[in-house]
Structures are given as C-alpha cells and as structure tokens.
Amino acid sequence: MASVDMSCPGSPVMFGVNSTACKTTVLLLALHAGSVLDANVDLTAKKSDITTFRGAFELVMRQHYPSMVGRIAIKLVSCPSICTEGLGVLS
C-alpha cells in the first residue's frame, strides 16, 4: 500500500518529498449501495462483500494475469441506497 507522501510516476511531485515508484497501476472503485431486497445494509456487510469480491478478483488475476498481481487496488465507496425512500412509500 502506497503512502500519501509517495507519488506514482507521472504524478506531480511536491518539493521535499522523496519520490519513489508506486507499484499500483490500476484503481478499481467499487460503488456499493446495497440491494433492493435488503434496504438496511450496514457497512460491515458492504466490507464483507468487497472482501469476497477482492478475493475472487485476485484469484482470477493470479490464474490469468500473473504480471498484474499486486498492481491493482480495490477500494470501497459506500453509497446510500437510492431505493430506500421509494420502498418506504410502497410498504
């Protein structure tokens, strides 16, 4: 995991900061708002889903794209469910 103080190649470099190469070349943002069937998804469930996704994704990468292992970062972006209010009206 790269530090905020380190910059990737091609990124602007701040003065006084050691410039080292960043191993990550791809960033996947996983937007997770839950499910229509379960409107009350908590953050723990979302983190569990992302952990499962990350494990499956890394397994495929190791099998088919070994040169990309360790170069992809997957981050969770937790979003509110857009259906909660509508389902509340229908219930």
> Of 15, 20, 26, 25, whose CA–CA distance to 3 is shortest?
20
Q: What is the pLDDT of residue 60?
A: 95
Is 13 part of a structural domain of the chain?
Answer: no
Is 50 part of a structural domain of the chain?
Answer: yes
Is 58 part of a structural domain of the chain?
Answer: yes
Is 75 part of a structural domain of the chain?
Answer: yes
Look up the domain containing 34 and give its range: 26-90
Number of domains in the chain: 1
Distance of CA 17 to the CA centre of its chain: 26
Is 10 part of a structural domain of the chain?
Answer: no
Is 11 part of a structural domain of the chain?
Answer: no
Is 19 part of a structural domain of the chain?
Answer: no
Q: What is the pLDDT of residue 52?
A: 95
Q: What is the pLDDT of residue 56?
A: 96
pLDDT tens digits along 34-71: 776 776 678 888 899 999 999 999 999 999 999 999 89
What pTM, to 2 d.p., does this model score?
A: 0.62
Overall size of the chain counted in residues: 91
What number of other Cβ atoms are within 10 A of residue 15's Cβ? Answer: 4
> By the 8 A CB rule, do 75 and 32 touch?
no
pLDDT tens digits along 6-28: 555 555 555 555 556 788 888 89
